[in-house]
Amino acid sequence: MSILVTGGRGAVARSLSARLAAHGLPHRVASRAPDAPPGTVRCDLTDPSTFPAALRGIHSVFLYAEATAVERFVEEAVAAGVEHIVLLSSSSVLGPGAADSPLSAAHLAVEQALEASPLRATLLRPGSFAGNALGWARPLASGRPVHLPYPGAHTDPVHEADLAEAAFTVLTDPARAGGAHTLTGPQSLTFAEQLAILGSVLGRPLPFEAVPARRWRAEAEGHIPGPYADALLDFWAASDGVPVETTDAVEQLTGHPPRTFETWCRDHAEAFAA
């Protein structure tokens, strides 16, 4: 049995491949990036010509949610003899208007393509990645305050290591394959609370400034596509002062409670060096 891990440069894929290697399980790491680590095969999920070689001899796939050529990917996976695909989707697919939202449309399209295929599919639906906080590293390192349009907006930050462990479980235990799992961190935290936790770990206060949504939108231009930025603002506005419901899915799949946001901060403190 060999496993293909797509999105090889992503945090979840790196953690998953390290876990597979530690257990001596045969796997192939794939990426579309030409500067990926040695031994990585090329698999651009928008380029079907890269699919056959990446899928040759593969039994299971850890798949990132890129919808551009998902039907062709499914066809090539079936032809290659793949039996199981674990998709890193998003809990945003569960919200109203998911098919029309930039935050969820691609994830939903890939889910639907897998559900319509003969392949066995396991859907991992994380909420907010704790790693999103890395977006604060640059302003904090330069001594500038983090600009927050909705400091009181709640998210459920989940550690990438927990997502990798959950993926490892469903990839390696046939009894756990199939179905959908909504994965969250252990707490619903506002952005202001997350910055306070990060500051406590780093041992220094981390300033933030509440800014109008239109200002944040203008500052994000060139870094975040406009429709995606608008969708984020709508999402944060809806969750301003509204705690996110957490689940026990991480513990059910990994056997331990999800790692806290404080743990994530300690694991990534070097990224916020002044």
CATH number of the domain at 95, please. 3.40.50.720
Q: What is the tally of structural domains in the chain?
A: 2
Q: How far apart are CA 142 and CA 242, in angstroms?
A: 31
**Which pTM does this prediction carry?**
0.95
Would you say residue 230 lies in a domain?
yes
Extract the runs of DSSP E, i.e. beta strands, from the chain. 3-5, 27-31, 41-42, 60-64, 84-88, 120-126, 146-148, 154-155, 179-183, 189-190, 208-210
pLDDT of residue 39: 83
Question: In terms of domains, do 153 and 211 share one?
Answer: yes
pLDDT of residue 274: 65
Question: In terms of domains, do 84 and 147 share one?
Answer: no
Question: In terms of domains, do 111 and 139 share one?
Answer: no
Radius of gyration of the chain from its Cα atoms, rounded to whole angstroms: 19
pLDDT of residue 194: 98
Would you say residue 153 lies in a domain?
yes
Question: In terms of domains, do 137 and 114 share one?
Answer: no
pLDDT of residue 38: 79
pLDDT of residue 273: 83
Domain containing 205: what range? 128-159+185-245+255-274
Question: In terms of domains, do 274 and 199 share one?
Answer: yes
Question: In terms of domains, do 108 and 229 share one?
Answer: no
Residue spans of the chain under pLDDT 50: none
pLDDT of residue 222: 87
Question: In terms of domains, do 60 and 141 share one?
Answer: no
Question: In terms of domains, do 121 and 220 share one?
Answer: no
Would you say residue 172 lies in a domain?
no
pLDDT of residue 33: 81
Question: In terms of domains, do 65 and 23 share one?
Answer: yes
Contact in structure between 172 and 260 (CB atoms under 8 Å): no
pLDDT of residue 34: 67
